[in-house]
Amino acid sequence: MHKIHFILCGVIVLLLAGSFGYSTYKKSADADPRVSADTSTAQTQDSKESPYEEQVNEAGGVTVSVTPVSITDSGTWDFEVSLQTHSVPLDMDIATSIVLLDASGAEVSPESWEGDPAGGHHRAGTLRFSAITPIPEVLILRVKDIGGVSEREFTWEFSR
């Protein structure tokens, strides 16, 4: 009889521990929008509303997502950038790996990267460029040498 009580107590403790673990996981997943069963959206916790469409490129074991956040005639142009992988270390300098192309096709380097530091398998942040004037009809952001992919291009068209 003593054995049955011991086994029942053990089962109850395991059920309580499992329930606590699941509720803790569920709370953290609900609090962090990057943890989601729906992988079709790539919104990050710091995301800003953008009138421009997010573009995603999955190649070389790295998913690169880019969304223009602020494109105006003056000031800076901000892009939300997210890199996700499970196989490649993300230790590159993002500020030297991503450029904009101006109307003549010349590469324009970013002013700054405000986001996750080099390393790990998940990086996100804002890449900031000086405004290109006049705004080109087609905006091209080029990503170089990430995940063994020599070049990826993200293109947005602007109607005037």
What is the model's pLDDT at position 4? 73
pLDDT at 37: 28
For the cut 50, the answer to whether the pLDDT of residue 77 exceeds it is: yes
Q: Would 139 be classed as within a structural domain?
A: yes
Contact in structure between 57 and 154 (CB atoms under 8 Å):
yes
Q: Note whether 8 and 68 are same-domain residues.
A: no
Task: Provide the CATH number for the domain around residue 127.
Answer: 2.60.40.3340
Q: What is the tally of structural domains in the chain?
A: 2
Tell me: the pLDDT tens digits for 25-59? Answer: 444 444 433 332 232 333 333 445 667 899 999 99
Q: Answer yes or no: do 139 and 73 share one domain.
A: yes
Residue ranges making up the domain that contains 10: 1-33
Angle at 47 between CA 41 and CA 50, to 5 degrees: 85
50 part of a folded domain = no
Please give the model's pTM, rounded to 2 decimal places: 0.67
Counting DSSP H helices and E strands in the chain, the numbers are 2, 9
Average pLDDT over residues 7-28: 55
My answer on whether 7 and 71 are in the same domain is no
